[in-house]
Amino acid sequence: MTQNKGDQVNQDFKSEFLSAAERMRDQLGSGLCLAKWQQVSLHLTTGMNNSCYHPPLHHIPVESIGGRASALHNTDHKKQQRRLMLAGERPKECSYCWAMEDAGNLSDRHYRSGEPWAAEHLAEIQNSTGNEDVTPSYVEVNFNNACNLSCSYCSPQFSSTWAEEIAHHGAYPTSTPHNHPDHFTGDRRVIPNREANAYVEAFWAWWPELYPQLKHFRMTGGEPLLDRNTHRVFDHVLANPKPDLHLNVTSNFSVDEKSWQRYLAKVKQLCQPGRIEHFMQYVSLDAWGAQAEYIRHGLDFDLVWDRVNQFLTEVPNYSSITFIITMNNLNVLSVENLFAGILGLRKTYSHTYQRVWFDTPLLKTPTWQSIQLLPEMYVDRLEALWAWMIRWIETPETRFQGFKDYEIARLDRDIAWMRQGQQLDPAYIQRNRADFYRFFREHDRRRGTNFLQTFPDMREWWSECEYHARQS
């Protein structure tokens, strides 16, 4: 089915983004991913690092950054992975992409490596040894875990609200330690805002060297709108304009009004001509209405949607919004409503260029919330969603109004990964389905929510998970 889908998506009117990924597939060879060199995601609240969200986070030894702040990116572990790639090997930590490619799909390494900030370094990387220190062109950073929400698949590592709940109630009764206090010790310990953080200090020591080389800089969290470091970055950019910079912030858009207005005013200044190339506002939202509020506990959906419209109305050119729709087993049946809402925004705000985007990354942890656990009927629902999107695919006549070819291709990727769940060990599936029931039963008790009222179409799934919980 994947091949037939590809034939439908890859029509004459093909986006440059998809074309670049296809070209890069032919140039990278069997194992090379340019993101290992040119991209880094820094979790400064725990001193962890990865090149993208697929490989597991690895620890940055605090002693390595003394006098060499670039070690935040150029860890010994990452250099080892680079050497493996240059030798044509497939590092195990990148198994997600290998699985996608083995199934005949483009993987994220093709998409990421095909983007200009990475592709321009192809020859340089191919001729390197893997031992060199590299200044990345794409940097994501979270400075701390301060956050006003406690999203169902998050943890104390990324949310102070989660940390407060766990401190008060203890861990959830699951078989894995995803949110257990004992899990966040040693290398995983979250450094509180009130303590000095050597990783944050190293980042700001690295910043004068890093900033001139940046093409994309993205702040995540926690919740960046509540973080003073966000405004420190903004103030630096305002004082030192960088017309080739893509500046990106990920937010839940649910902060208090004072914080929101302060943030919006700064963004309006940044988006004046000549200061940056583009401002991308990422909005974390997984579903529509009450289901979105259940997944991201503490979120006010109507407030978020109002602020999306306010941003698109008031912020000047050089700005767009991207919805980050994390595919998990709670939004498979309802994400179509959010997609329809996005189409409506595109018709309203996207006329001369695309101002409304979305991406559908896959949830890997906690494992009990993975779409791979769902029965076949849920795969069929995503297949039907894919077919619906095809009917609204962008054409020259509907430029900026329909779905992009690569958006449809990425959903195809998600479906392929979901189908791989049918090959998982039955004991693994049963254990995680039991954990799903235990987690959300306790979620409802602690947070005053009601799973079956919010997700009535998942009653049969709920009963199945309850059965496995009672059997274990």
Q: How do residues 42-71 score in pLDDT, each as one tens digit?
A: 999 999 999 998 899 999 999 999 889 999
Percent pLDDT > 70 in the chain is 97
- The alpha carbon of residue 345 and the mean position of all alpha carbons in its chain are separated, in whole angstroms, by 21
Residue 128, both tokens: 């390197």
Instruction: Enumerate the β-bridge partners of residue 320.
Output: 280
Q: Give the end of a domain, one of 121, 140, 159.
A: 140
Assess if residue 60 is contained within a domain. Answer: yes
DSSP per-residue codes, 175-231: SS-TT-GGGSSGGG----TTS--HHHHHHHHHHHHHGGG-SEEEE-SS-GGG-HHHH
What pLDDT sits at residue 9? Answer: 45
Report how far residue 141's alpha carbon sits from residue 49's, in angstroms, rounded to the nearest whole number.
9
Strands 296-297 and 150-151: antiparallel
468 inside domain: yes
Residue 356 near residue 345, CB atoms below 8 Å: yes
Q: Which of 2-16, 30-44, 210-224, 309-323 has the lowest mean pLDDT?
A: 2-16
User: Residue 302 falls within a domain, yes or no?
Assistant: no
Q: What is the pLDDT of residue 6?
A: 43
Asked if residue 236 is part of any domain, the answer here is: no
pLDDT of amino acid 472: 84
Please spell the DSSP secondary structure of 293-353, one letter per residue: HHHEET--HHHHHHHHHHHHHHS-SSEEEEEE--B-TTTTTTHHHHHHHHHHHHHHH-SSS
Q: Which domain holds residue 444?
A: 426-472
Where a domain ends, among 140, 155, 173?
A: 140
Picking from 89, 106, 140, the residue at the C-terminal end of a domain is 140
Q: How far apart are CA 40 and CA 139, in angstroms?
A: 5
Is 223 within a domain?
no
Q: What is the tens place of the pLDDT at every residue in 95-132?
A: 989 998 998 989 999 999 999 999 999 999 999 999 99
Residue 18 included in any domain: yes
Q: How confident is the model at residue 41 (pLDDT cuts 50, 70, 90)?
A: very high
The mean predicted confidence, pLDDT, of the chain is 93
Total domain count, the chain: 2
| Domain presence at residue 406 | no
Residue 339 lies in a domain: no
What's the confidence (pLDDT) of residue 249?
Answer: 98
